[in-house]
Amino acid sequence: MTVTLITAGFLGLLLVILSFNVVRFRRQEQLNLGAGAEDSMLFRAVRAQGNFTEYAPTMLVLLAALEYMQAGYLLVVGLAATFTVARYMHGYGLGFTDGSVPFWRMFGTLFTWLSLLVASVAALVVGYGG
């Protein structure tokens, strides 16, 4: 379960970074609760954090299951690396920029979905004994 553990470590660090970013913008906008206006950096930071928490747990469960079932090492490492880099890209693009350069968010989303799709299909194949 080493790959999953290391991936969880990197993703945990990202969650802390995204959370600090929310606090930073809440202080700037003097807002204790909520997400602010939809065009604000606070709103973007809150959504970056929320989006992360929507995807990361499912991927970690899939990685742990694949690793536990001894799926191909390169598959598990590749999925873990792709997902982790994608989440950092997305978090940066949504939570730390004004959105004028959609590259980070767009490719972060694409590679998040791709890694989640491959991991899900791999879990079904491994689960059914394929």
2-127: what fold? Four Helix Bundle (Hemerythrin (Met), subunit A) (1.20.120)
Q: What is residue 85's predicted lDDT score, i.e. its pLDDT?
A: 98
Q: 12-16, 81-85, 126-130: which range is least confident on average?
A: 126-130
Average pLDDT rounded to a whole number, residues 90-118 = 93
> Sign of dihedral through CA atoms 45, 51, 56, 59?
negative
Q: How many residues does the chain have?
A: 130
Domain ranges of the chain: 2-127
Contacts 24+ apart (CB under 8 A), 74-77: 75/118, 75/122, 76/3, 76/4, 77/3
Q: Which two tokens stand for residue 92?
A: 């940066």
The per-residue pLDDT of the chain, averaged, comes to 94
* Through-space distance between the first and last CA atoms of the chain, rounded to whole angstroms: 21
The whole-angstrom separation of Cα 42 and Cα 59 is: 26
Give residue 130's pLDDT band: very low, low, confident or very high (50, 70, 90): low
Contacts of 24 (CB under 8 A, 6+ apart): 45
Q: 16-20, 101-105, 115-119: which range is least confident on average?
A: 101-105
pLDDT digits 0-9 by tens, 24-67? 999 988 887 777 777 789 999 999 999 999 999 999 999 999 99
In Å, how far are 5, 42, 55, 103, 121 from 91, measured between CA atoms?
A: 21, 13, 12, 12, 25
The whole-angstrom separation of Cα 67 and Cα 89 is: 25
Q: What is residue 35's predicted lDDT score, i.e. its pLDDT?
A: 75
Q: What is residue 22's predicted lDDT score, i.e. its pLDDT?
A: 95
